[in-house]
Structure 1
Amino acid sequence: MASAPRREYTDAEIDAAVAVLSDPDRLAQAQRVVELGAPALQRILNQALQEESWIDTAHQQQVLEAAGKADIEDRLTAVRVLLAEETRVAMLIGVAVGFELAHELIDNEET
């Protein structure tokens, strides 16, 4: 089934939507949707990370380089940076999956 073309949102619309999500009841609803879909969403996230070659030779090299620092402070800093970068990538992919989940729910509502 083809869905309606998506339109671009204005900055004001995005700001208003983010403000609505700051309501604890709305956030609880969003968390419920994520919790219900968590196993499938986790599989999608893992697949996306692998398809984007995030977990590849270069990544393994960064892990070895961080772990191999002789100075403990340098090692800790390198590991922290690597973890932060991986977290950011995973979060961005998670947000993208969340947007698509929302669109899918909206598309199914309209039919």
Structure 2
Amino acid sequence: MGVGILASNQASGSIRIGLRRRDACATSPISSSCNSMNSFWWSDRVTTGTDGLLWNRNQPDNAHGATQQCVVLLASRTATITDNWTWQANRLDDVGCDRVAGNTPRQVRGVLCGKRPTN
């Protein structure tokens, strides 16, 4: 996926992955019942598990009025600093599903979809 971003002459960008926040955690900040490993489900209904999810520091936080229901991966070779916050390369962040950004280092530039394997 990083190759596609680099091919578009962009140093970094976000890739939306198929995680959605569970309804039970839709308005909750991080807690023991809604944490980084159990707050989300895979929207393709094929992918399972949360092993290997690597979140940016203090994420997911469900900020901005508890509207961060989707997840992006920052595809970058180095950390990106925006709004006085350091976004580590190749880490996850929860974002609004309808988030449309301009030409920023974290702009969503692609979507990653799951597909059931075939023989």
The alignment's TM-score, normalised by the length of structure 1, stands at: 0.20
Structure of larger gyration radius? 1
Decide which structure has greater helix share: 1
Q: Which has the higher contact order (CA 8 A, sep 6+)?
A: 2
Decide which structure has greater strand share: 2
